[in-house]
């Protein structure tokens, strides 16, 4: 089922790439304004579709609970009808949101000037379409071993198997089931003090906000992955002006070991981390001891790359706090703001890091 859903998403994305009306905007401020606009519009559409389906469910509930023509329908039959229709409505609602998000991602990619042939390359698991589709379906990154790093190294074989099954199940049905269950709980709670049909109406703002909040998070992650196509090489050039291939052995191992720890703590590999690892040269033959300056350079870069790699998971908070403590609170805030501005305002990195 997950494979079919993924294939459907890939087809939709490629079709959107080929048919979307956007063109590359070279002026950064104009491009940023356009990205912000289409991002806000997709969030608004997510709220609107939630409103439409919510009103339809309210209409059905009102008919079943209040209309004289439905007097012969028992309470159990009403429950079954509302559950089935709610399931179908929620599935269609999420399908619309996913489709709209993928179409918006294709438009964003065109605005940012990402080559079309890269957007249509779907045979590689770490290609851009796969990155965006994983974001749309709620999967944060990849869990396979790449570049000698195993994200699931610390959970064991049994844990990996259980996690694989649960993650696929979560991606396919979790959002739908969560909203169905929440609708039923809300109806039961509100139904004690109000007519059951009106409890569905009272729940509308909650589900509209859920749609908008979830879509906003999805679009932000997609934008981070798309901007990373250009920003990751710029970040590497900014952090290592001597050239990534010329960094010292001590600095190399500080960066690689730190990134390895981040990935294994998060238990997934974000696309922007993959981009960097693809740029990283082979490890030096001997590991030299790093200097204090090299450690600080590595810490600054690792924090910046982490800020480009989606929202921090609870497992990573202790690790990032330790990194920020070593780097310093003030410097950490500056680095975070620089990356935030680079992703969401397309502001270039100009402050020297050396």
Closest by CA to 46, choosing from 104, 2, 1, 85, is: 104
Helix axes 317-327, 329-344, angle to 10 degrees: 110
- Tell me the C-alpha distance between 127 and 124, whole Å: 5
Give the domain ranges of the chain.
2-221, 232-344
* CB neighbour list of residue 58: distance below 8 Å, 6 or more residues apart: 197, 200, 201, 204
Q: Which helix (H) or strand (E) holds 42?
A: helix 28-66
Question: Residue 297 has what pLDDT?
Answer: 94
Give the pair of three-digit tokens for residue 236: 């590497």
- Tell me the C-alpha distance between 222 and 108, whole Å: 9
Residues of the chain with pLDDT under 70: 1-8, 66-67, 120-127, 134-141, 156-200, 310-312, 354
* CB neighbour list of residue 227: distance below 8 Å, 6 or more residues apart: 112, 342, 343, 346
CA dihedral 8, 9, 13, 19 (to 10 degrees): 40
- Tell me the C-alpha distance between 273 and 304, whole Å: 11
Residues, the chain, total? 354
Question: Residue 182 has what pLDDT?
Answer: 53
Three-state DSSP state, 20:
coil
How would DSSP label each residue in 246-301?
G--HHHHHHHHHHHHHHHHHHTSB-HHHHHHHHH--PPPSS-PPPPHHHHHHHHHH
Question: Residue 173 has what pLDDT?
Answer: 45
State how far the alpha carbon of 101 is from the alpha carbons of 41, 78, 98, 132, 133, in Å: 10, 34, 5, 9, 9
Three-state DSSP state, 150:
coil
């Amino acid at each position: 089922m997950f494979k079919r859903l993924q294939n459907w998403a890939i087809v939709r994305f490629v079709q959107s790439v080929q048919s979307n009306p956007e063109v590359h905007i070279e002026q950064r401020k104009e491009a940023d304004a356009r990205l912000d606009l289409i991002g806000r519009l997709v969030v608004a559409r997510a709220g609107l579709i939630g409103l439409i389906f919510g009103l339809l469910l309210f209409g059905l509930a009102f008919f079943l609970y209040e209309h004289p023509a439905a007097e012969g329908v028992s309470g159990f039959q009403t429950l079954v009808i509302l559950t089935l229709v709610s399931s179908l409505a929620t599935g269609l609602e999420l399908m619309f949101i996913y489709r709209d998000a993928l179409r918006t991602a294709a438009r964003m990619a065109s605005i940012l000037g990402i080559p079309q042939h890269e957007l249509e390359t779907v045979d590689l698991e770490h290609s851009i379409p796969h990155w965006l589709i994983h974001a749309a379906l709620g999967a944060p990154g990849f869990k396979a071993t790449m570049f000698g790093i195993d994200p699931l190294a610390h959970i064991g074989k049994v844990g990996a198997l259980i996690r694989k099954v649960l993650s696929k199940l979560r991606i396919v049905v979790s959002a739908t089931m969560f909203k169905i269950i929440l609708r039923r709980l809300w109806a039961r709670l509100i139904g004690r003090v109000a007519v059951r049909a009106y409890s569905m109406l009272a729940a509308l703002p909650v589900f509209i906000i859920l749609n908008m909040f979830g879509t906003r998070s999805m679009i932000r992650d997609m934008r981070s992955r798309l901007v990373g196509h250009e920003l990751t090489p710029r970040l590497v050039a900014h952090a290592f002006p001597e050239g990534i291939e010329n960094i010292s052995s001590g600095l190399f191992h500080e960066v690689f070991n730190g990134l390895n720890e981040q990935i294994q703590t998060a238990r997934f590999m974000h696309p922007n981390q993959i981009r960097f690892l693809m740029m990283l040269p082979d490890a030096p033959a001997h590991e030299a001891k790093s200097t204090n300056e090299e450690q600080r350079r590595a810490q600054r870069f690792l924090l910046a790359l982490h800020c480009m790699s989606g929202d921090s998971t609870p497992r990573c908070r202790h690790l990032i706090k330790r990194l920020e403590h070593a780097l310093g609170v003030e410097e950490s805030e500056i680095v975070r703001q620089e990356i935030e501005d680079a992703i969401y305002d397309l502001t270039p990195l100009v402050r020297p890091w050396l």
